[in-house]
Amino acid sequence: MIQAERLRPSWLIASLGVLFGVVVASLVIGPADIGVRAALGEVLDHVPGVNVDSGLSETNAAIVWKLRAPRLVLGILVGAMLSIAGASYQAVFRNPLASPYQLGAAAGGGLGATIAIVNGWGDGAGFFDALPLLAFVGAIGAVGATWVLSNAAGGVRSIASLLLAGVAVTAFLTAIQTFIQQRNVDTIRQVYSWILGSLANSSWNEVYLALPYVLVMTAVILVHRRRLDVMSVGDAEATTLGLRPARVRAVVVVAATLGTAAAVAVGGLIAFVGLIVPHTVRLVAGTSNRVVLPLSFIVGGAFLAGVDLLARSIATPAEVPIGVLTAAIGAPFFIMVLRTSRRLVA
């Protein structure tokens, strides 16, 4: 019997198992001594319609529900979004190294955040806080500028012109960001801490800010998973197969970018996730976007939440910036992937 390449149930179950393991570990591990049952009980108690007595003291209950749980959920959301967005960019530009950051999302987000920090607007918490909002606006604005510039230069149909426009916009925005940063040396630590990425001090407010974007944009991307497979034969052939490649590219790029902007707004610039996770999934589970997109989402969530657990555990009570850890893990891993993978190079 003929079968299309699809996500095997075993991979789905395995990845969800890993995610669950990270969830439990993140709720339990930390300075306060809280058991697995109590931690899970406390979380379940907050599910509407469920009533569980976790037996935790008020302080420990707050540690689980107000500190660990939102940080965990945010880590999952940011990791899942960065990973599926990276996978989408790689598919749509048929470039294994593509990521939303290349179109200026990181530089724009960085500039927005820097403006907020040096002006003392917002403290990085809350739904309508200036920091995530400006980072969001900056990321979207930068990608929009890239788009416009590329259209003027040669049309977004040309992948090269789009990527080159991204380079130009990134260089320009980074220059402005550096200039502002240097004129405000007193806040330079805060700016760096944001740029290196952090999920510390996150509350449910950040989760509420990011959640709608992550869910909607992920749904949009997943709806296009088969079309992205068709795009792998190039625009001309995809057209003869009844697709409108320019339109698919526009929709997917916008969705991945909006999602990335939301992730950057709440988590800072966390590097490498969008590369490591999709490539690992491709090597292990298959190259069709029907496999890569959903698995990248789940594995990316587990990966970043796991790294964040590491970031807050290895040097307690200090925190290692999560972006430093993802880069430290990511760069050597990535070189290893490149060396061992024939599929990637082919």
Partner 1 sequence: MMLRCVDLRVRLGDREVVRGVDLEVEAGSWVTIIGPNGAGKTTLLRALLDLVGASGHREVAGRNLAEIDGRERARLMALVPQIPEMPPAMRVTDYLLLGRTPHLGMLGVESAEDLAIVGDVLAQLDLEQLADRPLAQISGGERQRAVIGRALVQQVQLLFLDEPTSALDLGHQQDVLELIESLRHEHGLTIISTMHDLNLAGDFADRLVLLADGRVEATGSPETVLDPAVLGATFGTAVDVIEHEGRMVVLPRRSER
For partner 1, give the closer residue by CB, 206 or 229: 229
Shortest distance (Å) from residue 302 CB to partner 1 = 24
Of positions 128, 236, 318, 339, contacts partner 1 by CB under 8 A: 236
Shortest distance (Å) from residue 225 CB to partner 1 = 7
Residue 261 CA: distances (Å) to CA of 56, 250, 282: 37, 16, 25
Point out which span in 116-124, 128-136, 169-177, 229-237 binds partner 1 (CB under 8 A): 229-237
Residue 47 CA: distances (Å) to CA of 24, 44, 72, 292: 16, 5, 16, 31
Instruction: Return the DSSP state at 102.
Output: G
Of positions 50, 241, 315, 335, contacts partner 1 by CB under 8 A: 241
Q: Which residues contact 185 (CB under 8 A, 6 or more apart)?
A: none
Point out which span in 34-42, 157-165, 238-246, 252-260 binds partner 1 (CB under 8 A): 238-246
Closest by alpha carbon to 273, among 133, 22, 91, 76? 76
**Cα–Cα distance for residue pair 175/321, rounded to 1 Å:** 23
Query: Under rule CB under 8 A, which residues in 251-310 are in contact with partner 1?
Result: 287-288
Residue 187 CA: distances (Å) to CA of 10, 107, 138: 49, 18, 19
CA Rg, the chain, in Å?
20
Point out which span in 2-10, 81-89, 181-189, 320-328 binds partner 1 (CB under 8 A): 2-10
Of positions 234, 328, 335, 340, contacts partner 1 by CB under 8 A: 234
Shortest distance (Å) from residue 247 CB to partner 1 = 10
Q: How crowded is residue 267: how many other Cβ atoms within 10 Å of its Cβ?
A: 30
For partner 1, give the closer residue by CB, 181 or 288: 288
Count of residues interacting with partner 1 (CB under 8 A): 26
State yes or no: cis peptide before 317, omega within 30 of 0.
yes
For partner 1, give the closer residue by CB, 146 or 296: 296
Q: Which residues contact 84 (CB under 8 A, 6 or more apart)?
A: 218, 221, 256, 259, 293, 296, 297, 300
- Establish if 230 lies at the interface with partner 1 (CB under 8 A): yes
Point out which span in 8-16, 78-86, 166-174, 220-228 binds partner 1 (CB under 8 A): 220-228
Of positions 237, 315, 336, 340, contacts partner 1 by CB under 8 A: 237
CB distance 246 to 306 below 8 Å = no
Of positions 25, 216, 243, 331, contacts partner 1 by CB under 8 A: 243
Query: Under rule CB under 8 A, which residues in 54-83 are in contact with partner 1?
Result: none
- Establish if 240 lies at the interface with partner 1 (CB under 8 A): yes
The kind and range of the H/E element at 142 are: helix 130-153
Question: Footprint of partner 1 on this chain (CB under 8 A)?
Answer: 1-5, 223, 225-227, 229-230, 232-234, 236-237, 239-244, 287-288, 343, 346
